[in-house]
Amino acid sequence: MGIRKYIIKSLITSIPVLIGATFIVFLLMYISGNPVQVILGEFATQEQIERLNRELGLDKPIIIQYFLWLGKVVRGDLGYSLMSKLPVIQLISERIVPTLMLTVTAFLISIILGVLAGMISALKHNTKTDDLISTIVLIFFSTPYFWFATILLWISAVYLKMYSLIGPLTIQRLLLPSFALGLPTSAVYAKIMRSNMLEVLNQDYIRTAKAKGLREKIILYRHALKNSLLPIIALAILRIPWLVGGAVITESVFSWPGIGTLMIDAIYRRDFPVVQGIILIIVVLIIISDIIGDIIISLIDPRVRLE
């Protein structure tokens, strides 16, 4: 199957996924309670509540509310925030740059550290260095984002007093949450890189290169490293949505002003349109990353065919 046909087919088949994911979130927000009570306060009269419900369309059945929202999305309208009355697309666009800063920096940290750790671990196979790296990787791999972020914040802000939760978005303020987000992901790359490198180093062409007298560095960088990196590249694309999901938690821990903190605040305030808009963007990102990842894998490995 050609790449163009695969993309079209994937986009068509992803429509039910998109509808299902957004409807589930819509249903959960609906079950969580009526946001009108939050907007008007606890002393609001029943008449005021009913009037605002009609104005916001919250008096209609949930399925009607959902399809009305979906119809607006198709036209490029994500609706308005129930709290600030501002367009959802405006609120998201104001927060998307800090989130991109965080995820891109975490992405680079995870790739660089993961590849280096995996490569060193493979080259030092069955040594104390390998055991140490494998233990650290296992700890990072097993630690949830929120716990890891909380520990880093406690050490740097409370114990060492080297980090502040307020202030401008400087590089110094960016690095700590980026490491909190990137290190657990780097453990995934480290494990795969180690496995790939060990497999490549045992291939016949590596033994042939050594027999020909090629220098160790040339064999390592030109042959072993290049072939070991190819699966990591495809995996990194597929892991981007995980970083975005982890960013929601990391941003809330470090008070980073991105879409993660925007979504957490919207959930607490039951601001349905904002939550739905952010979830829609995340689901679309997952679908696009999955398609791009499959295409890259098929281009890297001719044995894989897009079906």
**Domain residues of the chain, as ranges?**
97-256
Task: Provide the 3-class DSSP secondary structure of residue 277.
Answer: helix
Using 50, 70 and 90 to split pLDDT, how confident is the model at 288? confident
Question: Residue 186's CB: how many other CB atoms inside 10 A?
Answer: 25
| Span of 97-106, 109-118, 288-297 with lowest mean pLDDT | 288-297
Q: Residue 44 — φ and ψ, nearest 5°?
A: -70, 145
Q: Give me the torsion for CA of 114, 120, 121, 124, rounded to 10°.
A: 180
In the numeric block, which tokens belong to residue 242? 């995980």
> Model confidence over 167-178: pLDDT tens digits?
667 777 888 888
pLDDT tens for each residue of 75-86:
888 888 878 888
State the Cα–Cα distance between residues 14 and 174, nearest whole angstrom.
Answer: 34
Query: Is 167 or 143 the better-scoring residue by pLDDT?
Result: 143
- CATH homologous superfamily for 97-256? MetI-like (1.10.3720.10)
pTM of the model: 0.77
Q: Which residue has the tokens 């980026």?
A: 178
- pLDDT bucket at 113, cuts 50 / 70 / 90: very high
pLDDT average, residue stretch 107-130: 88
Look at 268 and 164; give whichever has higher pLDDT: 268
Average pLDDT over residues 211-236: 71
Q: Which of 121, 97, 251 is nearest to 190 (CA)?
A: 121
Find which of 26-30, 47-51, 69-73, 208-212 is predicted with most confidence, using mean pLDDT.
69-73
Spatial distance between the Cα atoms of 208 and 43, rounded to a whole number of angstroms? 81
Q: Measured in Å, how far apart are the chain's first and last C-alpha atoms?
A: 6
